[in-house]
A and B are shown apart, each in its own frame.
Chain A
Amino acid sequence: MAVRESHQETSGTPDPIERGFATLNTLRIGVKAMVEKDGELRKAEILSMKQRKDTPSFYVHYVDFNKRLDEWIPASRIDLSQEVEWPFPEKNEKNRKEKTATTNNKAQGKNQAQKRARADSRDISSTPDLLTGKNINVSKAQRPSKAGGKENREDETPVNSSFIGSEAASVAGTPRPEFEDVDMVDAGYSDSKDMKDEENGMEMSREEEIEKLRTGGSMTQNPIEIHRVRNLNRLQMGKHEMEPWYFSPYPEFFSDVDLVFIDEFCLSYFDDKNCFERHRAKCTLVHPPGNEIYRDDYISFFEVDGRRQRTWCRNLCLLSKLFLDHKTLYYDVDPFLFYCMCTRDETGCHLVGYFSKEKDSAEGYNLACILTLPQFQRRGFGRLLISFSYELSKREGKLGSPEKPLSDLGLLSYRQYWREVLVELLMQEGRESVSEYELAMYTSMTEKDVHETLLVLNMLRYHKGNWIIVLTDAVIDLHNKRLEKEKIKGIRKIDPARLQWKPPVFTASSRTWNW
């Protein structure tokens, strides 16, 4: 919430949240209402609406819940007996129009005009109600904009509000010095379509985002790209059926289909059962299309090059985007290697999870995205994936860290792994002292991760003028519990001796996109 506060500071005018009673008919996108969830009422924001057999249903995001819990609900679950919060007004709309008019009047030359057009087109597409066509969304046009008073409020999630906030702020001081600068930058680019627009903070931040994507090799999702409404309804894959968690840019009309079929081996997607069955009759793939680099009696790892297996890796990314919020499919898969973990049976090697890794990470990340498929979650596979990523780093002789931001599940998994690995090292017989550097060298974790993990576990303390590492009772307890569990269930570990892998070497040109 800090973000919003800062926004309010910058805009200078603290916007009081407008409350009031609503009826079914006045409910619209952006309204926050109390919604019944698992037997209790929670504040939820309406993100989309659709009419189905004359009964409206609402796509809601519960405040302070992860987006994966967003869902379609019938109107009956909305408690209209309580006041709702109306969204912030679309302040900027008026300004924008003014501005467009002025630039048009100026009509300064082709370049500028082009940009204007682009700006406008994106204004339309980047508003959060893109699904308009499909879901009969109440879109901007239907929004009672500029109506003043109560309805001129939009209270969105912090991310969005920060954008709007900065936009508003920039609009306030219209003739911006950055304006010209940005133009110059624009001219410097070879590919102007990548160019973001000019006027205000929002565009600037977006531009920076894309520039970051372009140069950083990051797989992080650009906030503006976050499509807020999940597009697939249900997923069939292998022996399981599941609900997707987030938006993924599968073909657009897949959002109309009840069930999307995913081939378990080639990860191709089908909206039609007939199609899928025909495909299965023809498809001969029985494992990820790469080289097996690790095998024990439980799992195998395959290394798949994004450049050589473009289709498969794209399919994989589309699939994993369904379960990873902060993943972008903005750019292609070429600069990544995909390490796919499989279990084996008589039908083939079944993908359980994977992580991607940049062929050359400028920031020293040893992992970009990591996912255990939801049907296999909570069985310790995530730990194996993390452990494997560090084994690769050890083989490379490098320290590594996962790319940020982490998801909630990612954070918990990593913290657990880090704790277990460090505590195991610290519990070794006869270890009287150790430096963070040594711990990092043993584990291939970065010194920062080592340090922070020790802090989080309250193990690194300042005692009588000296730093000490305290093996707390809680930590020892957890360690012993884990050992007991391993005794009963057996240890699932990555055995470095079974890893047949040399760090691949790529030339600069082979990392980039080309045919």
Chain B
Amino acid sequence: MTRYGGMGRTRPKKLTSKASIPVVREDQIDLIDDEVQSAIQQVETGVEKAEESEVHLQAAISAAALGKVSEANIPTPETVLSLIRYDELYPPNFSQPATYIRFSSTVEDCCGCAYHMVEEDNVFLKIMNQKRDASIQCTVDQFEEVMNFFEETAQLRQPFAAVDNPPALSYSEMEESFDVVVEDSVKRFAKDIYEHWKSRRIKNDNHPLQPALKFETGQETDDGDPYVCFRRREVRQIRKTRGRDAQSAEKLRRLRKELEDARQLVALVRQRELARKEMLGIERQIFLQRSEVKEMKRKLGVKDDDEDLINQKPKKKPVEVPMFQRPVVPQLRIPQRQAAEDLQLLEDVQAEKENEILRDIKQNLAKHVKWNEGYVDITMAPLTPSPKKTTYAGFRPAITTQLPTPPSSDSSGNANDSSSEGGLRNFADRYDSPVVEMDDDARKIPSFRRRIGRGGRIMIDRRNLTYHCKMEIDPLKLDRFKYDHDDVDDDLVFERDQYDIQIMQHRASMTVKAREQVALAREQAVQAHAQAQAQAQAQAQVQIQRRLQFDHATASASLGTGQTMGSNPGVGAMTASPVT
């Protein structure tokens, strides 16, 4: 009682299906309250209530509950091996296809003639054949065909024979049913076999000779008759509403319209074909008449080509559309884009290839390094460095070749379009001379590149320009003017106020000094005369230096114009900044 009360207090929690339940072995838990368990264990078997109490089932269930499944045995009637000649009836000629079987023929398709002979038929057929010549014996198959024909015809003519018991069909009625489908053999033997069929049929209350299932006949007895089976399952009635009516009317209307359209189409096709036929006829006629003309001409001795015989269509004048009049926009756009895409693709492919090669080389290098790990490398440079083209990317050597015409505007447009580095590279690649493998000499060729900086400024980067100059001058001389070069550029100009007191004072003092110096000079004039010779020499030297500087300046200026010519003549903001 206390137990029960205890159970009442701890009524089991509700178990939800998603709740995770721990799984334990029996020895992992203490003994549990059986009463609680048995209270839970009311489980439906799903077996019909009336049968649940059956002795064998109960025995089996309790055996299973005790874990003795093998003892759960429900007796069933025995099956025994049949004495039938199985091998003859079921010939072993099945070969399994490699793939899964797909099959849709029905039983009727596979079973041939639906009528099967019984012993009685055998006897009759034997007697019938004895009476006949050897040449027109009725085979078993033919006999079955005939019987089947009778059965089918009877079924067709008297579908309710099972209900209203009409007399057996007469032979004349059978004959009426002969049609194209009926084989000749059937017609040939039908008359002889008819009486046999009729007698059997009468014996059978004019019911079908072959055993048939009982289907619903629409009679009241159907429901209670356990032999009536496979009733038609009624389709659930669809409620009749105005909407549904309209729907189906609409459907019909549409169907009709579609059918009419189809008919119209066919009619038009017919019309077209008729017209075509007519045209062919006329053409032929024309040809014939022309050949007559030809014949006539030949007779009359008129010399002519065969032109008469063929249709001479006036050649269409090629329409000359001036370039600028072409409707540019819609037509050009698409091909242009396509071309651009193509170009992109090509470039991608090239880049890809290049990257691949580079990657390969890098990998190989890495591999080499790995192989050589722990070894001392005493060779000079065992590994070829990867091409350093990247550092020169975009630069092209300035080889002064005269272009006969300025480059087409297309390229410049293209270059303008592509504001990105990639576009420039593209441009560079296209106009690059194929000299990529630059030897030391080539590297020293002055080269340049154009790039677009912030705000769309176009910049020309130059390189190696100075070397270019040095190349032509004797290194010794060059050394001599090493520092002169800068003077020109770095001409310091000091801003000064002309009327600044300090400066004026300074100037005044300077003039005083000058006067004094003049006086002094006069004193020394006689002595100075001797030095005049040396002074003249120094002046000459300055002049030489100046001339050289001038040369230099013109050279760089001409180079600069060359650059502008080569790139874009119409660029406004341009800065030339030397790059080292």
Q: How far is the CA of A56 from the CA of B57 in the complex (A)?
A: 32
Q: Is B312 part of the contact surface with A, judged by Cβ < 8 Å? A: no
The 5 closest A-B pairs by CB, nearest first: A125-B224, A474-B67, A251-B211, A282-B112, A329-B229
Q: Is A363 part of the contact surface with B, judged by Cβ < 8 Å? A: no
Q: Is A190 part of the contact surface with B, judged by Cβ < 8 Å? A: yes
CB pair A238 B86 closer than 8 Å: yes
Q: Is A172 part of the contact surface with B, judged by Cβ < 8 Å? A: no
Interface centre among A227, A250, A375, A470 (most CB of B within 10 A): A470
Report A222-240 CB contacts with B as 1/0, cut-off 8 Å. Answer: 0001010000000011111
CB pair B54 A435 closer than 8 Å: no
| 9 A-B pairs whose Cβ atoms sit less than 8 Å apart in the complex | A239-B81, A251-B214, A272-B118, A311-B108, A348-B90, A451-B17, A463-B30, A468-B22, A469-B23
The segment out of B33-41, B274-282, B351-359, B426-434 that lies at the interface is B33-41
CB pair B89 A277 closer than 8 Å: yes
Q: Which of B60-78 contact A (CB under 8 A)?
A: 60-61, 64-67, 69, 72, 74-78
CB pair A289 B80 closer than 8 Å: no
Q: Is B233 part of the contact surface with A, judged by Cβ < 8 Å? A: yes
Q: Is B24 part of the contact surface with A, judged by Cβ < 8 Å? A: yes
CB pair A326 B48 closer than 8 Å: yes
Give the tally of cross-chain contacts (CB within 8 A): 360
Given A214-B233, A331-B233, A408-B57, are A266 and B118 neighbors across the interface (CB < 8 Å)?
A: no
- Report the nearest B residue to A125, measured CB to CB: B224
CB pair A66 B49 closer than 8 Å: no
Q: Is A381 part of the contact surface with B, judged by Cβ < 8 Å? A: no
Q: Is B324 part of the contact surface with A, judged by Cβ < 8 Å? A: no
Q: Which of B63-108 contact A (CB under 8 A)?
A: 64-67, 69, 72, 74-84, 86, 89-96, 100-108
Given A274-B119, A279-B116, are A434 and B49 neighbors across the interface (CB < 8 Å)?
A: no
Q: Which of B182-237 contact A (CB under 8 A)?
A: 211-214, 216, 218, 220-237
Q: How far is the CA of A191 from the CA of B10 in the complex (A)?
A: 57
Q: Is B350 part of the contact surface with A, judged by Cβ < 8 Å? A: no
- Report the nearest A residue to B75, measured CB to CB: A69
CB pair B66 A455 closer than 8 Å: no
Q: Which residues from B are CB-within-8-Å of A407?
A: 47, 51
- Report the nearest A residue to B22, measured CB to CB: A433
Q: Is B321 part of the contact surface with A, judged by Cβ < 8 Å? A: no
Instruction: From B57, B89, B101, B214, give the contact of A292 (CB < 8 A).
Output: B101
CB pair B80 A478 closer than 8 Å: no
Q: Is A150 part of the contact surface with B, judged by Cβ < 8 Å? A: no
CB pair B17 A447 closer than 8 Å: yes
Given A285-B111, A435-B19, are A121 and B231 neighbors across the interface (CB < 8 Å)?
A: no
Q: How far is the CA of A130 from the CA of B224 in the complex (A)?
A: 10
Q: Is A415 part of the contact surface with B, judged by Cβ < 8 Å? A: yes
Q: Is B404 part of the contact surface with A, judged by Cβ < 8 Å? A: no
Q: Is B122 part of the contact surface with A, judged by Cβ < 8 Å? A: yes
Q: Is B32 part of the contact surface with A, judged by Cβ < 8 Å? A: yes
CB pair A434 B20 closer than 8 Å: yes
Q: How far is the CA of A456 from the CA of B42 in the complex (A)?
A: 9
- Report the nearest A residue to B204, measured CB to CB: A253
Q: Which residues from B are CB-within-8-Å of A274?
A: 116-119, 122
Instruction: From B12, B54, B90, give the contact of A347 (CB < 8 A).
Output: B90
Q: Which of B102-134 contact A (CB under 8 A)?
A: 102-108, 110-113, 116-119, 122
Q: Is A182 part of the contact surface with B, judged by Cβ < 8 Å? A: no
CB pair A409 B50 closer than 8 Å: no
Q: Which residues from B are CB-within-8-Å of A240?
A: 79-82
Instruction: From A254, A332, A432, A462, give the contact of B230 (CB < 8 A).
Output: A332
CB pair B110 A158 closer than 8 Å: no
CB pair A452 B75 closer than 8 Å: no
Interface, chain B (partner A; CB < 8 A) = 10, 12-13, 15, 17-26, 29-30, 32, 36-37, 40-41, 43-51, 53-57, 60-61, 64-67, 69, 72, 74-84, 86, 89-96, 100-108, 110-113, 116-119, 122, 140, 144, 211-214, 216, 218, 220-237
Given A329-B230, A434-B23, are A440 and B56 neighbors across the interface (CB < 8 Å)?
A: no
CB pair B23 A121 closer than 8 Å: no
Least Cβ–Cβ distance between A442 and chain B, in angstroms: 13
Least Cβ–Cβ distance between A216 and chain B, in angstroms: 11
Given A249-B228, A315-B107, A467-B15, are A346 and B94 neighbors across the interface (CB < 8 Å)?
A: yes
Least Cβ–Cβ distance between A111 and chain B, in angstroms: 14
Q: How far is the CA of A314 from the CA of B61 in the complex (A)?
A: 34
Instruction: From B32, B69, B101, B118, give the contact of A275 (CB < 8 A).
Output: B118
Known pairs A264-B90, A289-B105, A435-B19 / 9 extra A-B pairs, C-beta < 8 Å = A158-B50, A193-B220, A249-B213, A408-B56, A412-B72, A461-B29, A466-B13, A474-B67, A513-B235
Least Cβ–Cβ distance between A369 and chain B, in angstroms: 14
Given A279-B116, A292-B101, A335-B233, are A470 and B111 neighbors across the interface (CB < 8 Å)?
A: no
Q: Which of A303-334 contact B (CB under 8 A)?
A: 308-312, 314-315, 317-318, 326, 329-334
Q: Is A117 part of the contact surface with B, judged by Cβ < 8 Å? A: yes
Q: Which residues from A are CB-within-8-Å of B67?
A: 474-475, 477-478
CB pair B237 A434 closer than 8 Å: no
Instruction: From A66, A126, A472, give the contact of B74 (CB < 8 A).
Output: A66
- Report the nearest B residue to A255, measured CB to CB: B227
CB pair B12 A513 closer than 8 Å: no
Q: Which residues from B are CB-within-8-Å of A416?
A: 64, 69
Q: Which residues from A are CB-within-8-Å of B79?
A: 240-243, 374-375
Instruction: From B37, B43, B78, B228, give the contact of A452 (CB < 8 A).
Output: B43
Q: Is A437 part of the contact surface with B, judged by Cβ < 8 Å? A: yes
- Report the nearest B residue to A482, measured CB to CB: B69
CB pair B218 A193 closer than 8 Å: yes
Instruction: From B113, B216, B230, give the contact of A333 (CB < 8 A).
Output: B230
Q: Is A291 part of the contact surface with B, judged by Cβ < 8 Å? A: yes
Q: Which residues from A are CB-within-8-Å of B36?
A: 462
CB pair A314 B23 closer than 8 Å: no
Q: How far is the CA of A406 from the CA of B232 in the complex (A)?
A: 25
Q: Which residues from B are CB-within-8-Å of A290?
A: 103-104
Given A121-B221, A251-B211, A274-B119, are A406 and B69 neighbors across the interface (CB < 8 Å)?
A: no
CB pair A130 B226 closer than 8 Å: yes
Report A250-272 CB contacts with B as 1/0, cut-off 8 Å. Answer: 11111000000000111011111
Q: Is A113 part of the contact surface with B, judged by Cβ < 8 Å? A: no
Q: How far is the CA of A238 from the CA of B90 in the complex (A)?
A: 8
CB pair B226 A332 closer than 8 Å: no
Least Cβ–Cβ distance between B110 and chain A, in angstroms: 4
Q: How far is the CA of A437 from the CA of B91 in the complex (A)?
A: 51
Q: Is A293 part of the contact surface with B, judged by Cβ < 8 Å? A: yes
Q: How far is the CA of A409 from the CA of B54 in the complex (A)?
A: 12
CB pair A285 B110 closer than 8 Å: yes
Instruction: From B21, B56, B95, B107, give the contact of A289 (CB < 8 A).
Output: B107
CB pair B32 A440 closer than 8 Å: no
Q: Which residues from B are CB-within-8-Å of A310?
A: 106
CB pair B50 A344 closer than 8 Å: no
Q: Which residues from A are CB-within-8-Å of B80?
A: 240-242
CB pair B122 A469 closer than 8 Å: no
Q: How far is the CA of A227 from the CA of B226 in the complex (A)?
A: 7
Q: Is A76 part of the contact surface with B, judged by Cβ < 8 Å? A: no
Q: Which residues from A are CB-within-8-Å of B45?
A: 406, 411
Least Cβ–Cβ distance between A339 and chain B, in angstroms: 14
CB pair A270 B23 closer than 8 Å: no
CB pair A66 B54 closer than 8 Å: yes
Q: How far is the CA of A284 from the CA of B15 in the complex (A)?
A: 57
Least Cβ–Cβ distance between B158 and chain A, in angstroms: 19
Q: How far is the CA of A407 from the CA of B52 in the complex (A)?
A: 9
Given A193-B218, A512-B235, are A405 and B46 neighbors across the interface (CB < 8 Å)?
A: yes
Least Cβ–Cβ distance between B54 and chain A, in angstroms: 5
CB pair B12 A462 closer than 8 Å: yes
Least Cβ–Cβ distance between B33 and chain A, in angstroms: 8
Q: Which of A275-306 contact B (CB under 8 A)?
A: 275-280, 282-287, 289-293, 295, 300, 302
Q: How far is the CA of A423 from the CA of B76 in the complex (A)?
A: 29
Q: Which residues from A are CB-within-8-Å of B46?
A: 402, 404-406, 411
Q: Is A460 part of the contact surface with B, judged by Cβ < 8 Å? A: yes
